[in-house]
Amino acid sequence: MRRLTWFLLLLAGCAHDPPPPARPELPPEVKTALANVPDDATRLREIVTLDKSNEEKKVQVAELEKTVADLQAKLDAALHASKDPTPAASSPVGRDVPGGSRVKVELSGELVFSPASARITRAGRKALDQIAEVLKTTNAKRIEVAGHTDSQPIGKKYEDNWQLSAERARRVVAYLAEKGLAGKHMIAAGYADTEPVDTADTDDARRKNRRVEIFIEPNAP
């Protein structure tokens, strides 16, 4: 009986205990932040996806490196076969930027064009023929032909070096298109004397600056 009385009194006391305090309402921005916090499973999936993406990129970079290296070797061999016996026929092939994805072919102005003219010489056509043959078997998505001149005043046929350099680039693009390259993948640009490779005021420096550069991007967008 005493135990029952004690139990009833205990229940009566609990019935009069005050309710626990209400939890404070979180600000809306805090609720949003908490809702956007990923759980452990989501974090793990993101890490796995990122690792897979990095591996795929490594494979793509390796494939691009091989493509560029193969293209360099083919162009170099082709241009050596087309060399004119004169010193002006230097035709280096290399990366536009070390480790970059563009291959640059540089042809001296004396090799490709007659002096102060946009007419392509016989030796120039021979070199461009070799380049075209290589590029037709290469996945070249973007080809830019850049014309460069020296800083000397131009003759009467062209208004200035801008016009001459642009016309030379255009003639090269047109010639490559005649040899079977897709025109939609090619760009012609004239730079006049704004990008000299040698700034000295000498005949040798001016000879170096008169050039045509062909930039080839195998995997351009």
Render pLDDT for 24-70 as a digit per residue (tens, 0 to 9).
676 776 666 656 666 666 666 666 666 666 666 666 666 666 777 77
Report pLDDT for 155. Answer: 75
* DSSP SS3 for 45: helix
3-state secondary structure of 68: helix
Radius of gyration of the chain measured on its C-alpha atoms = 35
pLDDT at 17: 55
More confident call, 93 vs 114 = 114
CATH number of 56-217: 3.30.1330.60
As a whole number of angstroms, the distance between CA 142 and CA 217 comes to 5
Helix, coil or strand: residue 104 = strand
**pLDDT band at 196, cuts 50/70/90?**
very high
What does the domain layout of the chain look like in residue ranges?
Answer: 56-217
Measured CA to CA, the distance from residue 166 to residue 195 in angstroms comes to 14
Over residues 134-140, mean pLDDT? 79
Mean pLDDT within 120-140: 86
Burial class (CB in 10 A: 0-12, 13-18, 19+), 214: buried
How far is it, in rounded angstroms, from Cα 102 to Cα 182? 18
pTM, two decimals, is 0.65
Quick one: average pLDDT of 69-75? 75
Q: What is the pLDDT of residues 83-109, one digit of tens each?
A: 654 444 455 677 666 666 778 888 888
Handedness of CA 162, 165, 169, 172 (dihedral sign): positive
